[in-house]
């Protein structure tokens, strides 16, 4: 069947189907009926730790849709058990996205409402939801967002660093050289930087940030909204030292690093300042990596930085 616009009609959400399953959620020991929602994809933010950090609209929508696509069904099921939601769960993650995505699109074509959640926070941030949203829009289906918790915004709120401009990088490369190269590229970004990292790599990340970015102000947002939440603040070298001495610290981390000083290029324009940056970088990096890091952080010409680095390395008998 075609409409007068020439586009095919989309089946509407079946109210008969709503009667076949319990579309309720529980709040303060009361079961609340969820109102039906139109067909489409619903991108729903969920708590980043504390299960109380969920919106009423999110609960009602998750109870109303026909199915919820999630990264890990075990994680989402804990939220559903807390709020008495019986909607079926279907895994959608990096490893099955290619095969799961067509099945979700088939459900949307049949007029169903599908929820999309990540393990924590707002979907599409460091998860495969982006491709599903693009495919849904290309197929002509409605996409609705239900905003809520975000570890990025939560970290910005408590870090005590500039929030007028920020750059979210997410996870840096795991390999040392690739990670250092990327940090060097980010050194001149005139904004607060945000990184995700896991506990086992925090010491290495902070060591590289300190070596390349210098004594910038930073905050380590660990286990936000959870029982053991902490936000140590300080300059990168001091924070790197803490994690070097306590490499076993576990948890989920958002690292927030302040922007470069506006006069950074001027401050490091003298040979003495450049030598100081190079000595610090050469203490942990190869000559090549140190040159890239300092050139990016100082704004100096790479050739000049290389010449000074080579002279310093030869003077110390350490050309790597």
CATH number, position 193: 3.30.950.10
DSSP 8-state class, residue 148: -
78 occurs within a structural domain: yes
Whether residues 20 and 144 share a domain: the answer is yes
From CA 224, how far away is CA 228, in angstroms rounded? 8
Higher pLDDT, 272 or 91: 91
- Quick one: how far is CA 286 from the chain centroid? 30
How distant, in Å, are the alpha carbons of 76, 112, 142, 250 from that of 1? 38, 18, 19, 57
Whole-number pLDDT of residue 318: 62
Q: Are residues 243 and 192 in the same domain?
A: yes
Indicate the residue among 99, 129, 149 that finishes a domain: 149
Total domains present in the chain: 3
Q: What is the pLDDT of residue 3?
A: 40
Domain final residue pick, 98, 133, 149: 149
pLDDT of residue 263: 37
Cβ-contact 194, 255 below 8 angstroms: yes
pLDDT band at 132 (very low <50, low <70, confident <90, very high): very high
Are 188 and 228 found together in one domain? yes
Does residue 25 lie in a domain region?
yes
Task: Check pLDDT > 80 for residue 246.
Answer: yes
Question: What is the pLDDT, as a whole number, of residue 113?
Answer: 98
What is the structure's pLDDT at 266?
A: 43
Higher pLDDT, 66 or 276: 66
Mean pLDDT of 70-90: 97
Give residue-wise pLDDT tens across range 11-60.
Answer: 444 433 434 467 999 999 999 999 999 999 999 999 999 999 999 999 99
Q: φ and ψ at 46, to 5 degrees?
A: -120, 165
Domain contains 2:
no
Q: Is 9 a domain residue?
A: no
**Residues 301, 179: one domain?**
no
Q: Is position 5 within any domain?
A: no
How many other C-beta atoms lie within 10 A of the C-beta of residue 229?
15
Q: Return the higher-pLDDT residue of 303 and 255.
A: 255
When pLDDT is averaged across residues 208-221 and rounded to a whole number, the result is: 96
User: Of 97, 119, 149, at which residue does a domain stop?
Assistant: 149
Rounded Cα distance, 289 and 305, in Å = 11
Q: Round to whole Å and give the CA distance between 139 and 47.
A: 30
Distance of CA 258 to the CA centre of its chain: 17
pTM: 0.75
Q: Is 31 a domain residue? A: yes
Q: Are residues 159 and 247 in the same domain?
A: yes
Q: How confident is the model at residue 312 (pLDDT cuts 50, 70, 90)?
A: confident
Least confident of 2-11, 60-69, 143-152, 307-316: 2-11
* 298 falls within a domain: yes
Is it the case that residue 9 has pLDDT exceeding 60?
no
Which residues constitute the domain of residue 204?
152-257
Residue 127, class by beta-carbon neighbours within 10 Å (0-12 exposed, 13-18 middle, 19+ buried)? buried
Q: What is the pLDDT of residue 7?
A: 39
Q: Same domain, yes or no, for 83 and 169?
A: no
Mean pLDDT of the chain, nearest integer:
88
Do 158 and 59 belong together in one domain? no
Looking at the fold, whether 274 and 310 belong to one and the same domain comes out as: yes
**43 and 71 co-located in one domain:** yes
């Amino acid at each position: 069947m075609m409409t007068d616009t020439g586009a095919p009609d989309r089946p509407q959400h079946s109210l008969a189907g709503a009667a076949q399953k319990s579309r309720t959620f529980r709040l303060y020991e009361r079961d609340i009926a969820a109102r039906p929602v139109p067909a489409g994809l619903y991108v729903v933010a969920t708590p980043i730790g504390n299960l109380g950090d969920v919106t009423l609209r999110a609960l009602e929508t998750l109870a109303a849709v026909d199915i919820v696509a999630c990264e890990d069904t075990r994680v989402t099921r804990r939220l559903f058990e807390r709020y008495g939601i019986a909607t079926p769960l279907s895994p959608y993650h990096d490893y099955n996205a290619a095969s799961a995505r067509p099945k979700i699109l088939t459900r949307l074509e049949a007029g169903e409402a599908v929820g999309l959640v990540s393990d924590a926070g707002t979907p599409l941030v460091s998860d495969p939801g982006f491709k599903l949203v693009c495919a849904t829009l290309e197929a002509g289906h409605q996409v609705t967002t239900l905003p809520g918790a975000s570890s990025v915004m939560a970290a910005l709120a408590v870090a005590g660093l500039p929030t007028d401009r920020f750059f979210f990088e997410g996870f840096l490369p795991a390999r040392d050289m690739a990670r250092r190269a990327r940090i060097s590229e980010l050194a001149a970004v005139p904004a607060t930087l945000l990184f995700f990292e896991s506990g086992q790599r925090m010491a290495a990340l902070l060591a590289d940030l300190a070596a390349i970015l210098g004594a910038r102000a930073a905050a380590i947002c660990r286990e936000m909204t959870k029982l053991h939440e902490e936000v140590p603040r300080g300059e990168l070298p001091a924070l790197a030292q803490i994690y070097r001495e306590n490499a076993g610290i576990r948890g989920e981390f958002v690292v927030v690093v302040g922007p470069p000083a506006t006069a950074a290029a001027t401050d490091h324009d003298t040979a003495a300042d450049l030598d100081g940056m190079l000595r610090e970088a050469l203490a942990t990096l190869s000559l090549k990596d140190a040159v890239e890091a300092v050139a990016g952080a100082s704004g100096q010409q790479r050739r000049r930085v290389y010449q000074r680095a080579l002279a310093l390395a030869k003077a110390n008998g350490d050309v790597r």
